[in-house]
Structure 1
């Protein structure tokens, strides 16, 4: 097992945006989402430890994953950037912001939260670990992905659901159980939001069962500078459920940031 480097894709030129996927996902989550952005930005998407093409780590904690992200970006010569984290990728992003704030220009929590797991959620994680150990990854993925989408979107997002199920089924069991334990045990990082001078963008689905709207409302006011986009009719997968709207929100947020050496134009772009 190794702790670096992580697998990645690197496309486009300009200010850098770094994308981190969530639990049982991979960098392929972002493939279609970021294509239009590569006309204006350098887009780096990483496979988090044990996911996609990245090797199994010795430590799945959010802090250790953030360290691997930092090491990989350092090897790529990336300095200042906007960090976008989906779900568990947001937990890693917050750990990164705590450890390496000087490298960030902004933070986007895409269906994510700074709150620690509740006692009920911890119990649910433990039950999921037991289920996977007994029945395997494939059985788990058959029921895990669909409910991440708002009920009204599941038919129109059928292809996306099948794609995410396939990615999940290819994820090693050791990664899945390791990440479940790490998410269960992660610390509350609302202090990171309270203390940061970084601009923070919250993208929240009004029908998100994984990160409920109420949880986002508890923390979106904490940063000194925050933007919040509440997505009606969206669950936990706005990347697919409202692609154009969430992409445009990230674009507009990026235009409020001060990218070193960038003369980025603030103009409407047809996405």
Structure 2
């Protein structure tokens, strides 16, 4: 396969339903399973679809160029193959980068935009360099060791202190990922541009969700998303207590409620 071709994603149906689907894009270094509990708390009859990004979960890693844009195009292509022309799109962290890229490259697809524990700005130079270092190390060692510590970093202080089972589960998910996918995704994220202007131009409903204990993309980043939205007065900011960067896993009912309200803004 040529590196210029669209990478592969695999769509998973988390809930069956009719009408406008909700597409949930996972964060790094996880897969679609991080949305399982959120899907359980969503309203009956709402179709919920979650892709696995290239190399993660059930998606194969091709020789495609690492890019967030490539993931977005692959998601749009996979949805189009199912006849889905419009959807509410929500993404967590890396998935939020993909959601913003979808809003830029496939605006007709994105009926509403959910940004969960994510940001619109590009990485600072030192963060970009760290991503590239981790990518090289994951390839060199052939392991996920360079991101193993994320099992704690992704979770909030409350979860780390009181939910060892959740720490273990997140750790198990990370261990199951492919080292080459870790490297690919880190390079994709390192090369992404600032998409604040995309958010400012996007005219659909926007909901920003953030864990109060998120140390990776803290509340200030969420506030920046709201302030940068096309209609900041209409953009919803939802703070999730007792949760960190993985609010969707730590407090799935709370996050599901926010996404259900976002969906209702389009369909009511």
Deviations 1:130-178 (A, max 9, x none): 4434544342343121121112211443333322222222222221111
Question: Does 1:214 find its partner at 2:201?
Answer: no
Which deviates more, 138-147 or 116-125?
A: 138-147
Matching of residue 250 in structure 1 with residue 259 in structure 2: yes
Contact residue 159 and residue 166 of structure 2 kept, 8 A: no
| Matched ranges for 1:104-183 at <5 A | 104-183=110-189
Which residue number in structure 1 is paired with residue 80 of structure 2? 74
Indicate conservation of the 8 Å contact 1:141/1:169, yes or no: no
| Partner Cα distance (1:115, 1:204) in 2 | 16
Does the Cα contact within 8 Å between 1:150 and 1:208 map onto a contact in 2?
yes
One of 172, 177, 195 as aligned partner of 2:201: 195
Give per-residue Cα distances to partners, 1:94-134, cap 9 Å, x unaligned: 11110111111101011111110012311322332344345
Whether the 8 Å CA contact 2:7–2:71 is kept in 1: the answer is no
- Deviation string, structure 1 residues 54-73 (Cα, Å, up to 9, x no partner): 11131220111111001100
Question: TM-score normalized by structure 2?
Answer: 0.89
CA distance in 1 between partners of 2:132 and 2:147 (Å): 16
- Rounded Cα–Cα distance in structure 1 between residues aligned with 2:155 and 2:200: 30
Greater shift after overlay, 212-221 or 40-49?
212-221
Q: Which secondary structure does the structure 1 equivalent of 2:66 belong to? A: coil
Equivalent residue of 2:42, what SS? Answer: helix
Distance in 1 of aligned mates of 2:16 and 2:42: 8
Q: Which moved more, 1:153-162 or 1:206-215?
A: 153-162
Aligned position for 1:236: 245
Match for residue 57 of structure 2 among 52, 57, 78: 52
Residue 37 to residue 61, structure 1, CA distance change in 2 (3 Å): same
CA distance in 2, matches of 1:36, 1:248: 8
Root mean square deviation, CA, Å: 1.9
For residue 24 of structure 1, the aligned residue among 13, 29, 43 is 29
Count of residue pairs the alignment pairs up: 259
- Structure 1: which 4+ aligned runs deviate by more than 3 Å? 1-5, 133-136
Corresponding position of 1:37? 42
For residue 39 of structure 1, report the CA deviation from its aligned partner: 1.3
